[in-house]
Amino acid sequence: MGAGWACALASLLAMGLACAGCAATPLAGPRPPAPAARKAGLDEVLSAYDAYCSTMESLSASGDLGLQDVRTGRAQTLGVRLVATRGGRLYFEMKDGRVAASSRPAPALAATEAGA
């Protein structure tokens, strides 16, 4: 046997040891099932929702507003955002950053909230 056979045998042995290391790694077991959702009463759900809402300072919505002039047949789409804040402020903004309209709370509403 020549040196070539010894080299080939050493390479084969090294490859066998490397593959045996990969094959000996244990596979991950299945995940345990998720815990069952618990039932909650109506009062518990409503109190949790009220607590969640009391932390909100503003409410906003955005989207595209389609405007169409029926007489001329012209149409235009504007990107808009509507923001309502606590205290009765209402903002209507265009998506390019311009404030199209802003309102202050009515005096009666502001007096009612201040007394509450």
Q: What is the DSSP letter of 73?
A: T
> Any idea where the domains of the chain sit in the sequence?
57-115
pLDDT digits (tens, 9 = 90+) for 84-114: 887 778 888 887 666 666 666 545 444 444 5
Q: For tokens 């932390």, name the residue.
A: 55
pTM comes to 0.38
**Between the CA atoms of 48, 50, 41 and 32, what dihedral angle is there, to the nearest 10 degrees?**
-30
pLDDT digits (tens, 9 = 90+) for 37-62: 888 889 998 998 888 888 888 888 88
- Selected residue with higher pLDDT from 55 and 8: 55
Distance in angstroms (rounded) separating the CA atoms of residues 109 and 116 = 11
